Amino acid sequence: MKIVLQNLTKRFPNRNRKEKGDVIAVNDFDFEIPDGKLVGLLGPSGCGKSTLLFMICGLQRPSEGKIFFGEDEVTNVPPENRGVGVVFQNYALYPHLTVKQNIIFPLQNLKGADKLTKAEMEEKALEAARLVQIENLMDRKPNELSGGQQQRVAIARALVKRPRVLLLDEPLSNLDARLRLQTREEIRRIQRETGITTVFVTHDQEEAMSICDVIVVMKEGVLQQIGRPQEVYDNPVNLFVAKFLGTPPINIFDGVVKENKLFIGEEAVLEAPGVSEGEVVVGIRPEGFVLKEDGPMSCNLSGVEVMGRDISVVSTHPCAQNANVRSIINAENKVDTEKDRVRFALKPGKVLLFGKEKGERLL
Ligand code: ADP
Ligand code: MG
């Protein structure tokens, strides 16, 4: 089921008397979430992710605009009639009910032709439990489960009615690092197995990049970019998106373009044919540096961090906005840490230029 958002806006009254006007949590969103995909809604805390998710599920009414599921407009349809399954950040399980009763809960208020017998409900609950691999925990109470298991119960409960759309609001944020990794793979698997259009909210770019088919990057209620994770990483539309995606983060420098060359400090580090002259912001991905003794760019070497397959060369540069410049180099390369300078050549595709004032991408 594709989800279409048309000029979707949500304003909240501003409670801060010093500031005038409303808070625009979601500002004029106009895009389509493709059918059957896992879509990551990504942005820093407070950028409007939950608000958007709550409008899609019907818990919040838009101030303006429309929402369609496929061809059906659902803008004014109450949540229980939209065919959505929702998993909240805090799971929101009923503590006094068993796992089975928690999963069955959404089936109990089905009315009329949809009404199920007890046996049918149990069958459906078991099916959902199998999907998330908790069928052996059905008689436990939530407080007898680990965080990861509780999360699975919440997902099973969201899936039990076979929703048209599955909505997950920061579902991994209460899990420890190892479990996060494992559970995100699970979410990917469940989404593939069911084929349900799934919107996955997270502030963690790595999480979104690793499992989502499509990512939607937001900032302060405004859509920045939509695309496949690799596409957005390689071709960010602005400095915000470039900085938000990638670990270690992109290295940012003050630069100048003149005579078809890009200068960082005194050094002409790259050819820049056709770029208009003037000051620019330069982003260099960590994998964009190549160790080279007579390379055009030099940095002050601070040290080397071993990462196994790769090493991270840590250095500083007077024109860098980051405290440390990080370059990721294959571990087969040797860096002489006795030296206080290190020289690089740059991979042109990994060097991105942005406008100095507005941070827009320059091509
Ligand atoms: P995110 O989920 O990305 O962290 P939210 O959607 O929760 O962001 O919030 C977006 C903005 O809207 C924030 O500035 C937040 O303070 C504001 N906001 C969210 N819900 C309400 C509300 N019920 N009343 C007033 N302001 C709200
Ligand atoms: Mg939120």
* Percentage of residues of the chain with pLDDT beyond 70: 100
Q: What is the pLDDT of residue 140?
A: 96
22 shares a domain with 163: yes
- φ/ψ region of 306 (left if φ > 0, alpha if ψ in -120 to 50, else beta) reads beta
259 shares a domain with 227: no
Q: How many CA atoms lie within 13 A of 303 on its CB side?
A: 3
170 shares a domain with 307: no
The CATH number for 20's domain is: 3.40.50.300
Instruction: Express each pLDDT in 172-207 by its tens digit.
Output: 888 888 888 888 998 999 999 999 999 999 999 999
Q: Could you tell me if the CB of 42 is within 6 A of ligand 1?
A: no
Atom number of ligand 1 nearest to Cα 170: 2
Q: Is residue 16 pLDDT above 80, yes or no? A: no
Q: What is the pLDDT of residue 147?
A: 86
196 shares a domain with 341: no
294 shares a domain with 351: yes
Instruction: Express each pLDDT in 54-111 by its tens digit.
Output: 999 999 999 999 999 999 999 999 998 999 999 988 888 999 999 999 999 999 988 8
Closest residue by Cα to atom 25, ligand 1, is: 12
Residue 264 CA, ligand 2 centroid: distance in Å: 39
305 shares a domain with 207: no
Model pTM score: 0.92
User: In the listed set 183, 212, 244, which residue is the last one of a domain according to the structure?
Assistant: 244
Residue 357 CA, ligand 1 centroid: distance in Å: 28
Residue 170 CA, ligand 2 centroid: distance in Å: 7
User: In the listed set 201, 223, 244, which residue is the last one of a domain according to the structure?
Assistant: 244
User: In the listed set 244, 270, 304, which residue is the last one of a domain according to the structure?
Assistant: 244
Q: What is the mean pLDDT of the chain?
A: 94
Q: Is residue 19 pLDDT above 80, yes or no? A: no
Q: What is the pLDDT of residue 109?
A: 82
Q: What is the pLDDT of residue 323?
A: 94
The range of the structural domain enclosing residue 259 comes to 251-362
Q: Could you tell me if the CB of 23 is within 6 A of ligand 1?
A: yes
Closest residue by Cα to atom 10, ligand 1, is: 48
Residue 47 CA, ligand 1 centroid: distance in Å: 7
271 shares a domain with 225: no
200 shares a domain with 55: yes
Q: Which residues contact 81 (CB under 8 A, 6 or more apart)?
A: none
Closest residue by Cα to atom 23, ligand 1, is: 12
Q: What is the pLDDT of residue 91?
A: 80
Split into its structural domains, the chain has a count of: 2
Q: Could you tell me if the CB of 16 is within 6 A of ligand 1?
A: no
Q: How many CB atoms lie within 10 A of CB 116?
A: 14
Q: What is the pLDDT of residue 20?
A: 76
Q: Which ligand is nearest to the CA of 170?
A: 2
Instruction: Express each pLDDT in 278-313 by its tens digit.
Output: 999 999 999 999 999 999 999 999 999 988 889 999
271 shares a domain with 239: no
* Percentage of residues of the chain with pLDDT beyond 90: 82
Q: Is residue 247 pLDDT above 80, yes or no? A: yes
224 shares a domain with 293: no
283 shares a domain with 240: no
Q: Is residue 139 pLDDT above 80, yes or no? A: yes
Q: What are the Cα distances from residue 246, in Å, to 163, 241, 251, 286?
A: 33, 10, 10, 9
* Closest among 66, 49, 53, 58 to 9, alpha carbons compared: 66
218 shares a domain with 267: no
pLDDT grade, residue 319 (50/70/90)? very high
Q: What is the pLDDT of residue 329?
A: 93
Q: What is the pLDDT of residue 249?
A: 95
